[in-house]
Amino acid sequence: MGSLRATLTIITTTLVAAALVAAAPSTPSSARAPHTSHAATTDRSTDTADTVAPAQCATDPATPKRQFRAMWISSVHNIDWPSSTGLSSAQQQAEFRSWLDVAEENNMNAVVVQVRPTADAFWPSDHEPWSRWLTGTPGGDPGYDPLEFMVAEAHSRNIEFHAWFNPYRVATHTNVGNLAADHPVRQNPDWAFPYNGQLYYNPGIPQVRGFVQDAMMDAVENYDIDGVHFDDYFYPYPASGQQIPDQATYDEYGAGFGNIADWRRNNVDLLIEEMSNRIKDAKPHVKFGISPFGIWRNSSTDPQGSDTSGLQSYDAIYADSRKWVTQGWLDYINPQLYWQIGLAAADYSVLVPWWSDVVSGTDVQLYTGQAAYKVGDGGAWNNAAELSDHLYLNRDHPEVLGDVYFSAKDVRADRLGAITRLTADHYRRPALIPEMSQLGGTAPGAPQITDATRTGSGISLTISGDATSYAVYRFDGDAAADPCDVEDASHLVGTVRAEGSGATFTDSTADGQGYTYYATALDRTHLESELSDPAAVEPGSGGSWSLTVDTTSDGFAASDDWGTSTWSSERFDDSYRFAEPVSASDAAWFSADIPATGSYRIDVWYPSHPDYNSATPYVVSTSDGNQTVTVDQSSGGGQWVDLGTFTLTAGERNVVGVSRWTSSSGYVVADAVRITRT
């Protein structure tokens, strides 16, 4: 993607776009003196304004029932997958499974995978050669069908697979002789033009427009993909001193247009409209989405534009993304909003409401493109909370139904702990994909839970029904579910893809207490059935168990001598507690109801700072008495730190305390504790 890779030297055309939205960085939070103020720095309202459920149901905005959560997995230049050319098929497959692991670990429910990066294919295509990014050789056969494999692997985990195509980019060089011998451009050299070091199909040639659609529709028609995804590569981003060499094409095909810019925009519009129609004719359930450059036009140019001053995709790359929405050619729009909150030229907090207004009243869903790749790049991006703050802002705009992150390697890198923080703040629970009723479909009948049994890995449910997938909801004890109880994800424990006339689901988070389970059935467009009849599971042993307690939980207690702070961006949630050392314990305690006597691993989370205490005592109440572990809180914060594995006794009591009794100077900090049965 152009703006997706604005910082990568391999995609030089987009540097112009990035420069046009550059602005002086704001002072990073790390530049402030520690604890000069403990006032909240961000207003994170807990108002339960209803954006998902019927008006009569109060829902938790932190656990939305439906939300599109995805990451881009980029293949061009081996950015994400495969990590290099020439890997064996087994190595490639193992790598892809590891990306699905990353998605699952962060409660994501979709991946957007680049399968046609440069007029080539990640499947055996009759139209274009095998991609060079698989084997290192244009046209080189990888020995298996990557697209078939990837779709099957994603669906086995009930993760949507959106196939990402670049319609017009032919090569990241200009040497036609370096293309595969049977490449269409070698057979039809007049179909492409060089520009700024790359080759592009000429969008103004009708035959080319039809051909690239045929090439992409081959994947739609022959593979079980869930979506077709375009990025922002249509006409190339402008390069200084260069002109797109299509004047002769305009002279031949531009009759009826007053200028070449309007003709170019119409060429792109035709591609979008025609591709939309062809997808729906072939497979109505397959979604069509585009992730355009984040600015359509500036309000200084067009009163319908946004209050920004950056590159205008309408004028610079001939992409009339607003029109694609208003005409209903798309199922979702995923603008690349890769700028921080407060950036003068392109403020995230300005662009989100603008795009929300664009989709309002249409059937087009809005997902925001998030710049995971910028975390740690300086300025506002040195604040680990920047991405999380984007999603807090999104909550004020119910039109925003999801987010996509560029790119997978940056999600996995988790620089500054930003992804861990985002997941803790917003993705604590799984979520269903937003439904798209305009795609047709019918909610299935309610399924049945025919068996619920404790196993060594949790509680196993056998579900019977007629559906594409199933959602599983869990309630403590023998509580009966109210319809409002399933209007957010507070009781949703997971989803599972159907196999034949049902599915098997294992709740690996179950502990030894009793539960009541319900299931629902979903069709291909995620329309949901009524709840099944309940299935009760009596208390017993077995299953895994984990509990996180932070300073806002009911299980936390501290004296009034402990202050409250929101200052550090490394905090676990909205705030943490701090105190001066004293020659007395005065511990801040984290309590828990331990389900059974046994071994438990204890991890702690704290924000670090050079002025914080280098020997903070953590007291663990074990079955053999209190054990103390000292932790250096001057560094290594913003992540889970393993205190060790301890034997804990069943029952509810104080389990971990942070003591003030230390001879070292600097604040001791209490933030969060995680207890996991081993």
What is 3-23+60-438's CATH topology?
TIM Barrel (3.20.20)
Q: How many helical (H) and strand (E) elements, i.e. helices and strands, does the chain have?
A: 14, 30
DSSP string, 441-475: --PPPP-EEEEEEEETTEEEEEEE-SSSEEEEEEE
- Domain boundaries 546-677, CATH class: mainly beta
In the prediction, which pLDDT does 479 show? Answer: 83
Residue ranges of the chain whose pLDDT lies below 50:
2-53
DSSP string, 271-327: HHHHHHHHHHHH-TTSEEEE--BS-S-BTTT-TTSBS--S--HHHHS---HHHHHHT
In the prediction, which pLDDT does 544 show? Answer: 61
User: What's the rounded Cα separation, in Å, for the pair 386 and 569?
Assistant: 9
In the prediction, which pLDDT does 36 show? Answer: 25
* Domain boundaries defined on the chain: 3-23+60-438, 441-537, 546-677
In the prediction, which pLDDT does 655 show? Answer: 96
Q: Which residues contact 616 (CB under 8 A, 6 or more apart)?
A: 606, 630, 631, 632, 633, 658, 659, 662, 664, 668, 669
Residues 341, 44 contacting (CB under 8 angstroms): no
Beta strands 160-165; 110-116: pairing state = parallel
Q: Which residues contact 95 (CB under 8 A, 6 or more apart)?
A: 81, 82, 83, 87
107: left (phi over 0), alpha (psi -120 to 50) or beta: left
**Cα 305 from chain centroid?**
27
Alpha carbon distances (Å) from 479 to 231, 259, 515, 543, 564: 47, 68, 8, 21, 36
What is 441-537's CATH topology?
Immunoglobulin-like (2.60.40)
In the prediction, which pLDDT does 32 show? Answer: 22
In the prediction, which pLDDT does 584 show? Answer: 85
Residues 108, 419 contacting (CB under 8 angstroms): no
- Residue 19: CB atoms within 10 Å: 11
